[in-house]
A and B are shown apart, each in its own frame.
Chain A
Amino acid sequence: MNPVYLDNNATTRVAPEVLETMLPYFSELFGNPSSMHTFGGQLHRRIEEAREKVAALINAEPYEIIFTSCGTESDNAAIMSAVESQPRKRHIITTRVEHPAVLNFCQHLGRKGHRVTLLPVNKQGQLDSDTLLRTLDDDTAVVSIMYANNETGVIFPVETLSSILKERGILFHTDAVQAVGKIPIDVTKIPVDMLTISGHKLHAPKGIGALYVRKGTRFHPYIIGGHQEGGRRAGTENVASVIGFGKAAELARGHLGDDSAYLGKLRDRLEQGLLASCPNAGVNGDISNRLPNTSNISFEYVEGEAILLRLNEHNICASSGSACSSGSLEPSHVLRAMGVPYTTVHGSIRFSLSRFNTDGDVDAVLDVMPGIINELRELSPFGKKHSAKA
């Protein structure tokens, strides 16, 4: 039985068309695109077609796209390149709510002698451009701010931020892993210098990502070796995945408008249904600037891991920002940065949808969730007075 999969910000299913496109490259078309012979060399053309499709999704030029192994590599490569190309500048600015691929990498550079500023967010998880302005100085090498948050779906004002930074001549990288394919992004209108994309968040397989590097931006390769990707990212191409990524980007571009509307409707029905049926629950994040597919809800007086495992019994997949489900003892750094009180942070659940979700999936959650929350509150020394039942 297929699960009710509502964890699409973690990863998505490979679209059937994507898989079909990839299959020949695992069997008869196994060549190396760098080879001189036609058998291998013909793949080079296929890779360039995929590059065109990924570029088109964000309205970039194909040569501005570098294929990488994942979003994390793209993030690391972008920040490292910014730092290496400006050795005199030692200041890096990012936010407290970034993905670990950016946050931990910046902190790693911090331990190696760079100065790292972590911008705060407000209660809605929103960033203030004035705060950014105040932290900029002549020593600032790069600013890395995510396009949309993976946990709350909150979209940052990247257009405004990138214009400010362009005026100041400071490099700007954005981790757009959660945004690309979910909302329209046009790099001709948003002056970012570098932008990270991940394949498996938009129905391509895992193990493929891309970094957009605007024409004219100095780029230092992160992985050094052969001449692949114009010398900007060495290593024999992951041919099948690159081609699958291209197909997924093409599909995402075609679906973009329809998906947004469809997902928004589905998500809102899920969210409003849960808020109506479960007392003492509230949405985390700025709901007026949010990805259409994401809903992060805190259920007070219950713990997230317990909710997830009860949902799991009904074959429903979601995720939580609670300490116990994060593998550490501290709850989500994103929700804590937003100042979500501890009484609610442990009971946060993230539902993230994709175009493969249906009204039936939403119904499945709405059917079981009130019962689960009620039962766990009955168990809890804090929850009894907050249960739905009289």
Chain B
Amino acid sequence: MWEYTDKVKEAFLHPKNVGEIEGADAVGEVGSIVCGDALKLYLRIDKETGTITDAKFQTFGCASAIASSSALTELVRGKTLDEAMTISNQDIAGFLGGLPDQKMHCSVMGREALEAAIANYRGQPVKQKDEGRTVCKCFDVTEEKIRKVAIENHLTTVDEITNFTKAGGGCGECLPAIEALLQDIWSLKPVDKPSKPKILTNLHRIALIQEIIESEIRPGLQADNGDVELIDIEGSRVSIALRGMCTGCMMADVTVKGIQSKLRELVSNDIVVEALQ
């Protein structure tokens, strides 16, 4: 059961401005019956002033899709086209007192219908599908749309992208592509590694080595059913023992070298790691 606000319920049960406008000045159509929601927006525009004098809609979809369409028509009425273009999907959701996270795509559909209608009025060409690479094949969502919605709504997680655009909500094959896209959009760098401390006391050095082995090295080995045990630390000499699948592994030397270079990188350059049997 969705937690809809009273405003969503009211706009769903008694939607405003339903229907067609005969000879509308602009029509915007988005979505499809296959995807489960579709919205057709009709606008009457005063050519002298560029003001939207009437707006009506037809929507196939769930309660929040119908409520978002109703809200959209109420928001645009009386506005100039330039003013209308500033209406965001958040404005539509806000007008309804908010939408459940998983339903935010309904507000995005409203915004898209508005853009499509205004483009139609201004005689701008209908956007070709191949303008952006299709990322999500199930719901036919392009890279361009994901970038746009992510930036407009400050979306940083794949789940959020799915909630707002539906991308990734079907077979899930495109989830890694969305993740990569988000990394690119926000230029997310890997989390900063702890920087090398300048002066190391013995106590510091031991604590640091322990911590790095626990948090940076063991999880990786354990993922391959291996493990490592810290045996002793004497000055810069670190004695370890390989455990689990690492024991007798042909790649054991490489593993030990890897641990050494990690510790050299994060602790100090003179660390020498030796493996005990």
Interface residues of chain A, those whose CB is within 8 Å of chain B, are: 301-306, 309-310, 313, 322-325, 327-331, 342-343, 346, 378-384
Contact = CB atoms under 8 A, between A and B. Distances in A.
A328 B33 contact: no
24 contacts: A301-B33, A303-B61, A306-B12, A306-B66, A309-B12, A309-B63, A324-B64, A324-B65, A324-B103, A327-B102, A329-B166, A330-B169, A331-B36, A342-B33, A343-B34, A346-B36, A379-B58, A379-B66, A381-B38, A381-B58, A381-B59, A381-B60, A382-B33, A384-B58
A313 B63 CA distance: 13
A329 B31 CA distance: 14
Contacts of B102: 327
B100 to A, nearest CB: 10
A329 B18 contact: no
Interface in B34-48: 34, 36-40
A324 B139 contact: no
Nearest to B105: A329
Contacts of B19: 378
B29 interface: yes
B29 to A, nearest CB: 7
Contact of A313 (B13, B38, B62): B13
Q: Specify the main secondary structure of chain B where it touches its partner.
A: mixed
Contacts of B36: 303, 322-324, 329, 331, 342, 346
Interface string B61-80: 11111100000000000000
Given A328-B169, A378-B18, A306 B138 contact: no
Contacts of B98: none
A325 B138 CA distance: 18
Given A301-B60, A324-B36, A379 B15 contact: yes
Contacts of B33: 301, 342-343, 346, 382
A256 B33 CA distance: 42
Contacts of A306: 12, 61-63, 66
Report which residue of A304, A309, A331, A343 has the largest number of chain B beta carbons within 10 angstroms of its beta carbon: A309
B169 A303 contact: no
Contact of A330 (B64, B103, B138): B138
Contact of A380 (B12, B29, B60, B138): B60
A303 B37 contact: yes
Contacts of A328: 169
B60 A383 contact: yes
A380 B59 contact: yes
Contacts of A382: 33, 38, 60
A330 B34 CA distance: 10
A302 B63 contact: no
Contacts of A325: 62
B60 A302 contact: yes
A330 B170 contact: yes
Contacts of A305: 2, 62-63
Interface string B150-164: 000000000000100
A324 B60 contact: no
Nearest to A323: B36
10 A-B pairs closest in CB distance: A329-B169, A324-B62, A305-B62, A381-B58, A381-B40, A380-B60, A342-B34, A323-B36, A346-B36, A309-B63
Nearest to B9: A309
A384 B60 CA distance: 11
A361 to B, nearest CB: 21
Given A324-B37, A342-B34, 8 more contacts: A301-B33, A303-B36, A305-B2, A329-B36, A330-B138, A330-B169, A381-B58, A382-B33
B31 to A, nearest CB: 9
A342 B63 CA distance: 19
Nearest to B70: A379
A322 B29 CA distance: 22
Contacts of B138: 330
Contacts of A343: 33-34
Contacts of B62: 303-306, 322, 324-325
Interface string B1-37: 0100000010011010011000000000100011011
